[in-house]
Amino acid sequence: MTTMLRRRRRHCRVPSLLAAALGLTLSAGSVAAETGAGFAPLPDPLEVNADRVALGEKLFFDTRLSGDTASSCATCHSPEQGWGDGQALSDGYTGISYFRNASGLFNVGHRNFLMWDGRLDGADLGTLVRDMMTESHTMNMDSRLAQQRLKQVPEYAAMFEDGFGGDPYGGKIYGAIAEYLKTIRTANAPFDAFLRGDEGALSASAKRGMELFAGKAGCIACHSGAMLSDGGLHATGAPGHPDLQTDAERQITMLRYFATMGTPNYMNLRSDIGHYSVSKDRSDIGKFVTPSLWDVGQTGPYMHSGVFATLAEVVDFYDEGGRETLNKSPLLKPLGLTPDEKADLVAFLESLTGDAPKVSVPDLPEYQLRQVGQN
């Protein structure tokens, strides 16, 4: 497991301060004129290698990449569930329960940091794929075994030759899936169309919601720019999921994870302490990465703990000013939103949502075992 602490330290505090300043300069009513400052359309698609994408797509759905051949990436990141699993807390390898929500993958090639606690650099999707495949919690795969299995599938061998000029090999497997991840994008979100000049793309309610988002509700202080995220870390006080307290297996998974990260005193922890397990700095206790909000209408349940089932619950949470917690962000205060304003804010969040992905499980090539000695 790789941590990218040093690079993160440079990024994270400054943008959130800038965004805070930005939030203060915006007032409700002036948003349309100011959208250039706080909002931006989706980033352009990344350039990709088509052969690697074609291979990565198959591998993403192939259960032979997990130790027991029972799960693929798509088991926890299903296109039909907004690239998540639709559950509050994720399952894990062989049904072992995990302690966090499975992230959605829309526009994942454009994130600053990966994972809820920001433990990986966004530029390094290949490392993330390696972690997902080899972590005992997710796919528990040995990369040498993956390599040997894929070599026994002639169609894959040919695709690796086309994409990389060589046999299946750890770094190429991760690279192919990373290339496919870069193609997962929001499609036709009304708010993106609006930002590109289509005034009619937003309902009147969503437009009022946009003004609240950038004004009275202050969301834009953290959710800004082309990713609707400052790429920073904040403690909002989003509560843990009750299952984490009652399910011993989830506790064990969490503590094993903290132990792997070298988290001080991990045996005494009972809740998810976020970025602290990466930095070991007490001022990071309870901090999580600001998620992108594109496609948020299809990626619930919400927050690192999946504790909120609906966007209305998320808005209620912010209306209360978040919850008390160590290191809580000073940007969160009770908002005093009326029921109509809450509905407008939800309508705006829904306008960030594009079409459901139209991806079906690709045809997966069969094994054709090589002769002993020709491996």
Q: Where on the chain is the footprint of ligand HEC (CB under 6 A)?
A: 71, 73, 75-77, 90-92, 98, 100, 102-103, 105, 108, 111, 114-117, 128-129, 132-133, 138-139, 177, 181, 217-219, 221-223, 234, 236, 238, 288, 290-291, 293, 296, 299, 302-304, 311, 314-315, 318, 329, 331-332, 345, 349
**326 versus 371: smaller Cβ distance to ligand HEC:** 326
Cis omega (within 30 of 0) on the bond before 301?
Answer: yes
CB 335 within 8 A of CB 318: yes
Minimum CB–partner distance for residue 209 and ligand HEC (Å): 9
Minimum CB–partner distance for residue 105 and ligand HEC (Å): 5
**71 versus 327: smaller Cβ distance to ligand HEC:** 71
**43 versus 371: smaller Cβ distance to ligand HEC:** 43
Q: What angle do CA 81, 84, 87 make, to 5 degrees?
A: 85
Looking up tokens 């998540």 gives 84
Minimum CB–partner distance for residue 204 and ligand HEC (Å): 18
Minimum CB–partner distance for residue 341 and ligand HEC (Å): 10
Question: In whole angstroms, what separates CA 63 from the centre of its chain?
Answer: 21
Contacts by residues 17-24 (CB-CB < 8 Å, ≥ 24 positions apart): 18/230, 19/220, 19/221, 19/222, 19/224, 19/230, 19/232, 20/221, 20/331, 22/220, 22/221, 22/224, 23/214, 23/218, 23/220, 23/221, 23/224, 23/331, 24/221
Minimum CB–partner distance for residue 223 and ligand HEC (Å): 5
Dist CA 18 CA 336 (whole Å): 25
**87 versus 152: smaller Cβ distance to ligand HEC:** 87
Backbone angles phi, psi at 261, to 5 degrees: -80, -5
**92 versus 225: smaller Cβ distance to ligand HEC:** 92
**93 versus 164: smaller Cβ distance to ligand HEC:** 93
Instruction: Supply 303's token pair.
Output: 């927050």
Minimum CB–partner distance for residue 316 and ligand HEC (Å): 10
